[in-house]
Amino acid sequence: MVELHNSGGLDLIADIGGTNARFALTDPSAAEPAILHPLSLPCTEFASLQHAAENYLNQVQVQPRRAAIAVASPVSRDEVRMTNRAWSFSQAELRDKLGLQQLLLLNDFGAVAWSIPALRQDDMALLHGQTQTPLRGPISVLGPGTGLGVALLVGDAASDWRVIETEGGHSSFAAQGEEEQAIARWLTARFGRASNERLLSGSGLSHIEAALAGEPASASARLRDPASIVAAALEGRDLRARQALARFCAVLGSVAGDIALIHGAKTVAIAGGIVPRFLPFLRASAFRERFLAKGRFAAWLEAVSIEVVTHPSPGLLGAAIALRRLAKETA
């Protein structure tokens, strides 16, 4: 059983993706937001977000009064339907079922964006340029995981920060060269449309490999597990896996450069569970070349810093920060 650290109790924080539901507690009276008693639960083991949250709360034996939950979907309406998981729920009903006085719902990459100013130097790996000191927006936050998240962080510590949640991962894929055009045709044949998320995600890496291997663009296509593709590519003996991962990195560079231009970013922060697994491969890939390949604006992008978030739970940290901000605003 978790012992309450203050008279007000602990708050619940969560980061719910398409694959894993991550839960933790945070102490609102502590000097700095901290992640306490984290636990990751497979989404496939639960019928709903409510059941997953109840399972966690039963394990830690805490009844929180407040919660901040980040989910991989838009959260602007009471009814929330997750994009890459067959879970839907009413925000008001979830709050009542969990016995909460206050529930804050965030987009998952909105939560990651809130974490960026709080990250330490060893929570980030510099990929290009120089780390901003002090940090100032606009900062583009993006990253592949079960899907492709995109958010925008504006402001600075002096004027305060603001997060703008987006669904930029679902923008259309702009193929470059014959190989990417073939991948785009494969995706269009299978899904009716080729979006960036269909390539830049765990399943997207599997799609790239299948398309390059000439697999049929149908439900019968043999899709290799993305973790297996990454492992095989890094081992160095599997040419098809290396080709797929190299194409993934190149497309990620193009998309990151596009988003930086759209946002007017000073820094691009790449998060998500995939990229930190192959940072040396990414550094040696065509990522930077494709990031800068924007014609007359290549020189402008040279000044944009690119950081990879290596913190294990930026979504949970961001949820804790957002909940603290809400508490101050409503106090």
pLDDT exceeds cutoff 50 at 265: yes
pTM higher than 0.75 for the full model? yes
Per residue in 208-228, pLDDT (tens digit) is 999 999 998 887 778 999 999
Confidence class of residue 1 from pLDDT cuts 50, 70 and 90? very low
pLDDT at 8 over 60: no
How far is residue 258 CA from its own chain's centroid?
Answer: 17
Q: Which residue has the higher pLDDT, 85 or 319?
A: 319
Q: Is the pLDDT of residue 300 over 80?
A: yes
Q: Is the pLDDT of residue 187 over 90?
A: yes
According to the model, what pLDDT value does residue 5 have?
A: 41
Q: How far, in Å, are 120, 140, 226 from residue 243 at the CA level?
A: 34, 27, 13
Cβ within 8 Å of residue 139, ≥6 positions away = 113, 116, 152, 153, 154, 265, 266, 267, 268, 269
Average pLDDT rounded to a whole number, residues 49-53: 94
pLDDT band at 100 (very low <50, low <70, confident <90, very high): very high
Cβ contact 313:24 at 8 Å = yes
Fold of the domain built from segment(s) 11-114+313-330: Nucleotidyltransferase; domain 5 (3.30.420)
List the chain domain ranges: 11-114+313-330, 169-309
CATH of domain 169-309: 3.40.367.20
Asked if 156 and 130 touch (Cβ cutoff 8 Å), the reply is no
Reply yes or no on whether the pLDDT at 73 is more than 80.
Answer: yes
The per-residue pLDDT for 331 is 65
Residue among 136, 141, 132 at smallest CA distance from 106: 141
pLDDT tens-digit readout, 226-258: 999 999 999 988 999 999 999 999 999 999 999
pLDDT at residue number 277: 93
What digits encode the pLDDT tens for the residues 278-296? 999 999 999 999 999 999 9
CA angle 25, 273, 198 (to 5 degrees): 125
> Per residue in 107-166, pLDDT tens?
999 999 999 999 999 999 999 888 888 899 999 999 999 889 999 999 998 899 999 999
